[in-house]
């Protein structure tokens, strides 16, 4: 089922949570709503679920306006950050709840519950209570419960937010495979860009209630539409500088008005002084990964982050306190939408 | 540590002394006095028609007031914990009013409203009903005094558990009644039972408010506490103590039930 979000605005007292947000989700797509806390992503998800009503704007499910249809008639599946499992019910009772309230006969219910238990690989724990499960298991039960009565849309509110880093990674991959299998249109809220990029077909970036950019992970990472997106996607070095014949020239004086955005992996690093290279001192090295993260300080005390491959780091034999020379390979400027 | 052990025994000693003087001693004297003139006098006091009638009246009051308390208590607790509205703080204060105001005043309020000179008294009399100096008045005054018990037991449970489960049930297609029955009720059942027990105990023993609205008509509007008071004032001390043992026995059962429920609750949580 496709979803159209048309010009949604929502205010909480005087706080503008969403302002004129519009975009379309295609049938079977998995979309992430990505943004910092307070960006309005959860509010938007709750509006789609019917748990909140927008002040203005419309939501269409398969071209039908459902803005004023109550939650229980929308046939959605909602997964909460803190699972919201019914704590006095067993795993199978939790999963079968939506079928029970809809009056599905016991036999049919049991069959569907078993299917779902297999889908989320929890058949052996069907008689357990939520308190007897781990975080990852709880979230899988919550997902199975949300899927029980064949929802047209699956909405996930920071589904991995309360889990350990390792479990989170596993579950992420698992969710992507599950989505491939069941193909239900899904929208997931997250504040973790890695998660959004790994799981979703397209990513919607929200900031202060406004849509900043929508696109595939690739588009968003390589063509960020605004300084906000650039900064949000990862540590970025901001320098004052100027553009000369299509080349970015850094200047260490802050008098220059143009801001250059340079990603940590977009630096050339050299041990010899060369033209246009800036001098920096290595302050800290984190080599515990295939990409070595280096913190530096320029001669005018500006902090700088540079990522280089581990092999290069070995070859150059870099050490804390060494002086090196840097030049940006690629820089972005957002003044007057001018991107080089 | 030695000193903390000393402190412990010292504190235990204080509590034994305190409970001995204020609880155990009076209970013993009550039992001794009740049976002082023999079993026959004791049983005669208990099976006296006016005593039996008082007990019956107490039970009638309980049968009416507990379900009403239960209903309004749950409605009130859900309203306060789940909805935002402007008069919330006023409502919260009003709920505690019966606890903070003297029971005598609670009785007086009902006389002022339903008595013959009261606001609604004339109208009610024309309709052929009697509230004051009759069972309805006693029920009303008792509800007023015992209303907070259930709200105060249920409200903290609802506030502590949050409403995420209810929201989840909503998204799964349940309607409000189903949500209450399948989700909210199982959550609050222990608090509810506990509130019922506390409020039943109070219903049986309420004296102040009932005293004003009942009119003390023997064999008609006397509840057990009123009957005991009357016997005592008529110098039938032994009978007064004998009838008292009914209320004490009831209190004992209540406490046992309370203990039992707490144990069940602990078991169901582990």
pTM of the model: 0.79
Q: A146 CA to chain B: closest CA distance, Å?
A: 7
Q: For residue A86, list chain B residues with Cβ-Cβ distance below 8 A.
A: 165, 168-169, 182-183
Question: Are B170 and A72 within 8 A, CB to CB?
Answer: yes
Q: What digits encode the pLDDT tens for the residues B31-64?
A: 998 998 888 889 988 899 999 999 999 999 999 9
Q: For residue B183, list chain A residues with Cβ-Cβ distance below 8 A.
A: 86
Q: For residue B186, list chain A residues with Cβ-Cβ distance below 8 A.
A: 88
Q: What integer pLDDT is reported at residue B36 of this predicted model? A: 87
Candidates B171, B174, B178; nearest CB to A49 = B171
Contact A122, A141 (CB under 8 A): yes
Q: What digits encode the pLDDT tens for the residues B176-195?
A: 999 999 999 999 998 898 89
CATH topology of domain A3-232: Rossmann fold (3.40.50)
Question: Are B170 and A77 within 8 A, CB to CB?
Answer: no
Q: For residue A72, list chain B residues with Cβ-Cβ distance below 8 A.
A: 170-175
Q: A133 CA to chain B: closest CA distance, Å?
A: 14
Apex B199 CA angle, B194 and B205, nearest 5: 135
Contact B78, B152 (CB under 8 A): no
Q: What integer pLDDT is reported at residue A265 of this predicted model? A: 87
Among the listed residues A91, A63, B140, the one whose alpha carbon sits nearest the alpha carbon of residue B132: B140
Residue of A nearest to B179 (CA): A101
Q: B84 CA to chain A: closest CA distance, Å?
A: 13
Task: Identify the residue among A46, A71, A94 best suited for mutation to test binding to B, counting B beta carbons within 10 A and taking the highest.
Answer: A71
Which A-chain residues 201-220 have CB contacts (< 8 A) with chain B? none
Which A-chain residues 32-91 have CB contacts (< 8 A) with chain B? 49-51, 71-73, 75-78, 80, 82, 84-88
Q: What integer pLDDT is reported at residue B130 of this predicted model? A: 82
Question: Are A72 and B186 within 8 A, CB to CB?
Answer: no
Question: Are A101 and B182 within 8 A, CB to CB?
Answer: yes
Q: What digits encode the pLDDT tens for the residues B85-101?
A: 888 999 999 998 888 88
For A20, A31, B251, the CA distances from A205, given in Å and listed in that order, are 14, 11, 64
Q: Please give the DSSP secondary-structure letter assigned to residue A332.
A: B
Average pLDDT over residues B193-209: 89
Candidates B170, B173, B183; nearest CB to A86 = B183
Q: A5: pLDDT confidence band, cut at 50, 70 and 90?
A: very high
Q: A254: pLDDT confidence band, cut at 50, 70 and 90?
A: low
User: What is the rounded CA–CA span in Å between residue A86 and residue A96?
Assistant: 11
Question: Are B165 and A71 within 8 A, CB to CB?
Answer: no
Say whether A216 sits in a helix, a strand or coil.
coil
Q: A77 CA to chain B: closest CA distance, Å?
A: 7
- Chain centroid to CA B45: how far? 25
CB contacts < 8 A, A to B, total 61
Q: A244: pLDDT confidence band, cut at 50, 70 and 90?
A: low
A280 versus B124: the higher-pLDDT residue is: A280
Question: Are B165 and A72 within 8 A, CB to CB?
Answer: no
User: What is the rounded CA–CA span in Å between residue B91 and residue A96?
Assistant: 38
In this structure, the dihedral spanned by the alpha carbons of residues B54, B57, B62 and B63, taken in order and rounded to 10 degrees, is 150
Residue of B nearest to A148 (CA): B172
Question: Are B169 and A97 within 8 A, CB to CB?
Answer: yes
Q: What percent of chain B has pLDDT over 70?
A: 99
Residue matched to tokens 């000193």:
B3
User: What is the rounded CA–CA span in Å between residue A22 and residue A80?
Assistant: 24
**Spatial strand order in the sheet of A15-25:** A15-25, A3-12, A56-61, A64-65
Contact A263, A234 (CB under 8 A): yes
Question: Are A101 and B174 within 8 A, CB to CB?
Answer: yes
Q: A246: pLDDT confidence band, cut at 50, 70 and 90?
A: low
Among the listed residues A158, A126, A153, A114, the one whose alpha carbon sits nearest the alpha carbon of residue A139: A158
Q: Provide the token pair at A295.
A: 């913190």
Q: A46 CA to chain B: closest CA distance, Å?
A: 10
Q: A337: pLDDT confidence band, cut at 50, 70 and 90?
A: very low
Q: B178 CA to chain A: closest CA distance, Å?
A: 7
Among the listed residues A133, A152, A125, A129, the one whose alpha carbon sits nearest the alpha carbon of residue A66: A152
From the number of C-beta atoms within 10 Å of its C-beta (0-12, 13-18, 19+), residue A2 rates as middle
Q: Provide the token pair at A302.
A: 């500006």
Architecture in CATH of A237-329: Beta Barrel (2.40)
Chain B positions touching chain A (beta carbons under 8 Å): 164-165, 167-175, 178, 182-183, 186-187
Candidates B164, B165, B178; nearest CB to A101 = B178
Say whether A323 sits in a helix, a strand or coil.
strand
Task: Identify the residue among A46, A74, A98, A146 best suited for mutation to test binding to B, counting B beta carbons within 10 A and taking the highest.
Answer: A98
Q: Provide the token pair at A266.
A: 């977009």
Q: For residue B170, list chain A residues with Cβ-Cβ distance below 8 A.
A: 51, 71-72
Which A-chain residues 148-167 have CB contacts (< 8 A) with chain B? 148-149
Q: A142 CA to chain B: closest CA distance, Å?
A: 9
Q: A9 CA to chain B: closest CA distance, Å?
A: 22
- What residues does CATH 2.40.50.140 cover in chain A? 237-329
Looking at chain B, the number of H-run helices and the number of E-run strands are 14, 0
Average pLDDT over residues A62-74: 91
Residue of A nearest to B270 (CA): A131
For A130, B189, B190, the CA distances from B158, given in Å and listed in that order, are 19, 11, 12
Q: Provide the token pair at B123.
A: 């109208």
Question: Are B170 and A71 within 8 A, CB to CB?
Answer: yes
Task: Identify the residue among B166, B173, B269 best suited for mutation to test binding to A, counting A beta carbons within 10 A and taking the highest.
Answer: B173
Q: What digits encode the pLDDT tens for the residues B129-167?
A: 888 888 889 999 999 999 899 999 999 999 998 899 999
Is B29 a residue whose pLDDT tops 60? yes
Mean pLDDT score of chain B: 89
Q: What digits encode the pLDDT tens for the residues A136-154?
A: 999 999 999 999 989 999 9
Q: What integer pLDDT is reported at residue A245 of this predicted model? A: 63
Question: Are B173 and A98 within 8 A, CB to CB?
Answer: yes
- What residues does CATH 3.40.50.300 cover in chain A? 3-232
Q: Provide the token pair at A245.
A: 């014949």
A275 versus B2: the higher-pLDDT residue is: A275
Q: What integer pLDDT is reported at residue A338 of this predicted model? A: 47
Q: What digits encode the pLDDT tens for the residues A9-23?
A: 999 988 899 999 999
Is B173 a residue whose pLDDT tops 80? yes
Q: What digits encode the pLDDT tens for the residues A280-329?
A: 999 999 989 889 999 999 888 888 889 999 998 988 888 898 899 988 88
Average pLDDT over residues B199-210: 89
A230 Rama class: left (phi>0) / alpha (psi -120 to 50) / beta: alpha
Q: Provide the token pair at A275.
A: 């033209």
Question: Are A51 and B167 within 8 A, CB to CB?
Answer: yes
CB-hemisphere CA count at 13 Å for A314? 7
A132 at B interface, C-beta within 8 A: no
Q: Provide the token pair at A31.
A: 């979309």
């Amino acid at each position: 089922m496709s979803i159209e979000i048309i010009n949604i605005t929502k205010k909480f007292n005087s706080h503008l949570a969403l302002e004129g947000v519009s975009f379309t989700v295609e049938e079977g797509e998995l979309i992430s709503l990505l943004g910092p806390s307070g960006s309005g992503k959860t509010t938007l998800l709750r509006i789609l679920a019917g748990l909140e009503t927008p002040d203005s704007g419309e939501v269409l499910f398969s071209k039908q306006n459902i803005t004023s249809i109550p939650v229980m008639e929308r046939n959605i599946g909602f997964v909460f950050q803190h699972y919201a499992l019914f704590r006095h019910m067993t795993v199978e009772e939790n999963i079968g709840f939506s079928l029970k309230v809809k009056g599905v006969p016991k036999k049919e219910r049991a069959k569907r519950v078993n299917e779902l238990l297999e889908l989320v690989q929890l058949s052996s724990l069907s008689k357990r209570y939520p308190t007897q499960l781990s975080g990852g298991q709880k979230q899988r039960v919550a997902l199975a419960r949300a899927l029980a009565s064949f929802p047209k849309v699956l909405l996930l509110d920071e589904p991995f937010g309360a889990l350990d880093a390792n479990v989170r990674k596993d579950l992420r991959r698992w969710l992507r495979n599950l989505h491939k299998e069941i193909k239900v249109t899904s929208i997931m809220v997250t504040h973790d860009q890695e998660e959004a990029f790994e799981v979703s077909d397209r990513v919607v970036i929200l900031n202060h209630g406004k849509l900043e950019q929508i696109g595939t992970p690739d588009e968003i990472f390589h063509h960020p539409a605004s300084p906000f997106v650039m900064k949000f996607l990862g540590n970025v070095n901001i320098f004052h500088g100027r553009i000369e014949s299509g080349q970015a020239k850094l200047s260490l004086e802050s008098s220059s008005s143009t801001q250059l955005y340079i990603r940590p992996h977009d630096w050339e690093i050299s041990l010899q002084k060369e033209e246009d290279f800036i001098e920096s001192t290595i302050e800290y090295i984190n080599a515990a990964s295939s990409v070595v993260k280096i913190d530096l300080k320029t001669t005018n005390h500006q902090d700088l982050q540079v990522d280089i491959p581990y092999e290069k780091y070995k070859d150059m034999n870099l050490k804390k306190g060494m002086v090196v020379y840097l030049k940006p390979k690629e820089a972005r400027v957002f003044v007057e939408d001018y991107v080089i | 540590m030695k000193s903390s052990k000393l402190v412990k025994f010292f504190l235990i000693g204080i509590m034994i002394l305190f409970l001995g003087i204020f609880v155990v001693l009076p209970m013993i004297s009550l039992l001794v006095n009740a049976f002082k003139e023999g079993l026959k006098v004791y049983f005669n006091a208990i099976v006296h028609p006016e005593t039996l009638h008082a007990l019956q009246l107490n039970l009638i009051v309980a049968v009416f007031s507990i379900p009403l308390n239960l209903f309004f208590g749950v409605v009130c607790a859900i309203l306060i914990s789940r909805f935002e509205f402007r008069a919330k703080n006023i409502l919260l204060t009003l709920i505690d009013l019966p606890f903070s105001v003297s029971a005598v005043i609670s009785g007086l309020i009902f006389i002022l409203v339903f008595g013959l000179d009261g606001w609604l008294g004339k109208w009610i009399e024309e309709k052929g009903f009697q509230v004051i100096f009759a069972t309805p008045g006693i029920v009303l005054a008792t509800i007023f005094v015992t209303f907070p018990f259930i709200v105060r037991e249920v409200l903290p449970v609802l506030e502590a558990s949050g409403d995420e489960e209810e929201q989840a049930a909503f998204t799964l297609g349940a309607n409000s009644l189903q949500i209450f029955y399948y989700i909210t009720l199982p959550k609050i059942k222990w608090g509810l039972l506990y509130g019922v027990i506390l409020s039943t105990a109070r219903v049986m023993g309420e004296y102040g408010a009932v005293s004003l609205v009942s009119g003390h008509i023997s064999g008609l509007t006397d509840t057990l506490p009123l009957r005991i008071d009357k016997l005592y004032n008529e110098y039938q001390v032994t009978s007064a103590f004998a009838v008292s043992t009914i209320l004490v026995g009831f209190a004992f059962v209540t406490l046992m039930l309370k203990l039992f429920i707490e144990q069940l609750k602990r078991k169901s949580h582990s």
